Amino acid sequence: MIFNRAIVAVAFLVAANTALADGVMKGDAAAGEALVASCTACHGADGNSLAPTFPKLAGLGERYLLKQMKDIRDGRRPVALMAGQVDNMTDQQLADIAAFYDGQTRTSGTTDPELLALGRKVYLAGIAERKVAACSGCHSPSGKGNGPGGFPGLAGQHADYIAQQLEMFRLGYEDESGRTNGGDSMIMRTIAFGLSDLEIKAVASYVAGLQ
């Protein structure tokens, strides 16, 4: 419990320091709506993608969305399927897109009943023996995330996509070919590194079914 609280405290401190360093850019949702025509094929008109390989962007968190798009544009988060999509966009345009998608309502998903108990345990309590912090500390018990802190809402997200990102974070703990844009404190990489394949599958399924 003490370890989990310490991880959460560090996470919020890192997010706060990042916010102060980057400044707060206010997005215009109406302007963003006019910029997302090319995004709809993969992410849906309202940010609710139908294919599990593409994340639902609706309600993901304005600060988080902006950071991810900037990281993709600037090469800090390589995503092959996003190649060229945001390369020529300004910070303000990305902020407008983030505001638009964050203002949309995310559709719900389902949890595999056979994975429910394990997924709930990992998400709400973590794994003390491996010093894996509870996901709920940053992403909230309801899975709604923490917008001001930059922690995305996970409730209703595609389970396959969440599992894929956790696997990429786990790889990124030791190999730069994985996902490494989670910050210098390596919170997500450290947590994912402590999870087994089954635990990743279970926690991804659990949050997909959160309302």
CATH of the domain at 40: 1.10.760.10
Q: In terms of domains, do 112 and 95 share one?
A: no
What total number of domains does the chain contain?
Answer: 2
Residue 40 domain boundaries: 22-102
Q: Is 60 helix (H, G, I), strand (E, B) or coil?
A: coil
Instruction: Give per-residue burial for 21-57: e unless 16+ CB within 10 Å, then b.
Output: eeeebebebeebbeebeebeebbbebbbbeebebbbb
| pLDDT confidence of residue 211 | 87
Task: Confirm whether 194 is domain-assigned.
Answer: yes
Tell me the pLDDT tens digit for each residue of 168-210: 999 999 999 999 999 999 999 999 999 999 999 999 999 999 9
Tell me the pLDDT tens digit for each residue of 123-144: 999 999 999 999 999 999 999 9
pLDDT at 21 exceeding the cut of 50? no
Q: In terms of domains, do 171 and 95 share one?
A: no
| pLDDT confidence of residue 25 | 86
Proportion of the chain above pLDDT 90, given as a percent: 87
